[in-house]
Structure 1
């Protein structure tokens, strides 16, 4: 397959705290260096794009030295945490903004769907917006007329097609926008997280359409999503971004695992960052068969949960779920006061749950933990999607191993409770 898109040394720099590139003096310095044939002085500075850190410089690199190639008919998944630079990269690829350094080389027409209502005018009807948006994306009027019924039918908005778009819901706007972009028959289709706004049926339809474009028509798709199940099912390769840098590039399964495993070595335990006076979950820890959250198939695993009770709880209940990388619960364990007495007076309590011979397929897992009062039906606290740990196949049992397959569980769970203070 030939290369249809090539990114070479793409970087994008922004100034923090102000609109535009900066002050008049900064712009003059840039102009003067350009006249003299010198390098832009502000491209020599700039902080790392870590949104959680305190800014120490006036400039930040949203992207830094991005290099990759995409072949014709390939579906590339671009994944990373919020603020990693995914949308900035797509905007550069779509020519919405220009890079500070580097170049993009493409062949063919690019259609992009970057945010809800991109290119739509609220006062125009859905039908009028189809013609306007199609023209902006490069479709001729006869081409739009020929595909109009197909676009309307795909969007599922026929009842409202002659109603101004300002009266559409965000989901309807996304439906119409995606329908236009997908039927443009572009050589490259760029889709950001906007599909998350649509309902489940539309997401399935949209993913099916993108698969048809790539597999049936040999077109290229660049897809950004936080839904790893969609990324796995649709994409061939993955590009993992972190703090504006490419940290991994490879097949989609390895890319998703790299993304999910990020920070695994410091995440197998949870401590309440803001303890309060009310009853709450104070600590969660997973004790695995190997250090740092690595657990071997068919070994015992221990879940340690520490609670604080501000008063007596009539019918306390604690439960936890083990979730896979798609956030689907595979195991749900529950302890009630009727089974083991706890939280009958103010104080700290330690609940330890041991699952013997845990048989989960290799991959990354995490916990949901819930603390409730069954008498009042009140949820006292909940910790979700924390404490990542990884199942590995140290003993190489080949007939158990297939990534992404169903749970295999022959486990026996026991609970132990102790009061940790007077």
Structure 2
């Protein structure tokens, strides 16, 4: 008997952007095509607008039974496309996938649920799709409801569920119906911290039972804590695989490599793009000439320039450490009396007095929102290095292993009499 749970061989997924549907080839389509050519500056414009996108290109790997494998990469790297193909939501353009046993997956919020059915009905539907009998599903039902914490809403149509309720029920169904292969996307980030910890514990339990897990996350701490191995995707290609530590190091290195591309040129971004960030930098006050270098204890400034100002535009910076664990977040949506407006510019500036981050390398994720609409989102829009300094006249304690901040503090000591 083979110990391989998943076999992926030269998997590719191709999209043709800008070409539009070909239609049925009838007289109406011929007239429409003629009109498009007439409106173009020349006959080749339509063809030039169309472009190829390879979401995945020649990806091959194997996963052994009982192995927990992390999949990491930037937005647009191909992670979600890979999981959709493995979950049989979409077909590959080339290559093949083979896996043994039942597969449960948790991808986008609500994937696999029928919106008009209740939570209870969707649980039984999901089990039936996995090939389980009604009795097998019923034996797990109470456990699923308890884990998902949806309680009295179990008989409510899921179209009325919040995103958090969707995620809780979706994970509970995927994990408790005992698939041989469990696929979990970054969607778990929607849940609260307590539920995320519960999910991590459940995935460890599933793994200990000998089942296979594919886990997508941008949190390198979670990847290192849960996974036996990890693969790195970049621009649709598998660029590395190895231990979680090795893969995380390569992922973070590729983040640093983006420094050769200006923020305005970055294509790995999300949002509708009515306005976009063009430049971002972090520096200590008085050290504008050395962007990317900050000193512990000194005032830090993070700047972001945007293409245009739109109504109700807000900016947020999320600071992550070298394991891509979130350290802190700053949002201009939350105003205070000390905040001020600058006329005539398109720059957001966040000022952080007495920087309390300990020495190390940090990444900043950027988000621009207009009301509730995401305009622009870029991971690792800038990076910076914190070096040692003084905070309130006090140097850092010598041992800082495993900590992220060292805030201003004061001691009261007992007086020792000699």
SS at match of 1:328: strand
Mapped partners of 2:400, 2:66: distance in 1 = 30
Q: Which residue of 2 aligns with 1:99?
A: 92
> Shift of residue 96 of structure 1?
1.7
> Shift of residue 211 of structure 1?
1.1
Indicate how the Cα distance of structure 1 residues 118 and 409 shifts in structure 2: closer, same or farther if over 3 A, else same.
closer
Matched, 1:388 2:379: no
Mapped partners of 2:245, 2:301: distance in 1 = 31
CA deviation string 1:323-365 (max 9, x = no partner): 52313159xxxxxxxxxxxxxxx99xxxxx9x9xx9736xx42
Mapped partners of 1:74, 1:307: distance in 2 = 42
> Shift of residue 92 of structure 1?
1.0
Q: Which residue of 2 aligns with 1:3?
A: 4
Q: Which residue of 1 aligns with 2:238?
A: 246
Q: Which residue of 2 aligns with 1:40?
A: none
Gaps spanning 5+ residues in structure 1: where? 26-54, 274-280, 309-319, 331-345, 348-352, 370-382, 393-398, 412-422
Asked whether the 8 Å contact 1:3–1:70 carries over to 2, the reply is yes
Pick from 200, 204, 208 the counterpart of residue 211 of structure 1.
Answer: 204
CA deviation string 1:199-254 (max 9, x = no partner): 2222111111111101x201111111233333332222211111111122111122
Asked whether the 8 Å contact 1:268–1:293 carries over to 2, the reply is no
Mapped partners of 1:203, 1:3: distance in 2 = 29
Mapped partners of 1:147, 1:410: distance in 2 = 47
Q: Which residue of 2 aligns with 1:117?
A: 110
> Shift of residue 270 of structure 1?
8.7
> Shift of residue 137 of structure 1?
2.1
Asked whether the 8 Å contact 1:268–1:389 carries over to 2, the reply is no
> Shift of residue 292 of structure 1?
11
Pick from 211, 219, 229 the counterpart of residue 227 of structure 1.
Answer: 219
Indicate how the Cα distance of structure 1 residues 129 and 65 shifts in structure 2: closer, same or farther if over 3 A, else same.
same
> Shift of residue 385 of structure 1?
5.8
Asked whether the 8 Å contact 2:296–2:359 carries over to 1, the reply is no
> Shift of residue 307 of structure 1?
11
> Shift of residue 9 of structure 1?
0.4
> Shift of residue 301 of structure 1?
11
Pick from 51, 70, 89 the counterpart of residue 58 of structure 1.
Answer: 51
Gaps spanning 5+ residues in structure 2: where? 26-47, 266-278, 306-316, 330-343, 346-351, 367-377, 388-397, 409-418
Pick from 112, 117, 120 the counterpart of residue 127 of structure 1.
Answer: 120
Asked whether the 8 Å contact 2:85–2:92 carries over to 1, the reply is yes
CA deviation string 1:142-162 (max 9, x = no partner): 101111111111111121112
Total equivalences in the alignment: 325
> Shift of residue 102 of structure 1?
0.9
Indicate how the Cα distance of structure 1 residues 244 and 269 shifts in structure 2: closer, same or farther if over 3 A, else same.
closer
SS at match of 1:186: coil
Q: Which residue of 2 aligns with 1:258?
A: 250
**What aligned pairs does 1:293-304 form with structure 2 within 5 A after superposition?**
none
Asked whether the 8 Å contact 1:239–1:249 carries over to 2, the reply is yes
Alignment RMSD (CA, Å): 4.8
Q: Which residue of 2 aligns with 1:152?
A: 145
> Shift of residue 179 of structure 1?
1.1
Indicate how the Cα distance of structure 1 residues 368 and 93 shifts in structure 2: closer, same or farther if over 3 A, else same.
closer
> Shift of residue 19 of structure 1?
6.0
Mapped partners of 1:386, 1:240: distance in 2 = 20
> Shift of residue 163 of structure 1?
1.8
Asked whether the 8 Å contact 2:227–2:244 carries over to 1, the reply is yes
Query: 4+ runs of 1 displaced by more than 4 Å?
Result: 22-25, 268-273, 285-288, 291-295, 298-308, 320-323, 383-386, 389-392, 399-402, 407-411
Indicate how the Cα distance of structure 1 residues 143 and 387 shifts in structure 2: closer, same or farther if over 3 A, else same.
same
CA deviation string 1:77-100 (max 9, x = no partner): 111122211111011111222211
Q: Which residue of 1 aligns with 2:327?
A: 328
Indicate how the Cα distance of structure 1 residues 390 and 254 shifts in structure 2: closer, same or farther if over 3 A, else same.
farther
CA deviation string 1:380-420 (max 9, x = no partner): xxx9965324699xxxxxx9797xx2259799xxxxxxxxx
Mapped partners of 2:84, 2:68: distance in 1 = 17
> Shift of residue 182 of structure 1?
0.8
Mapped partners of 2:227, 2:114: distance in 1 = 32
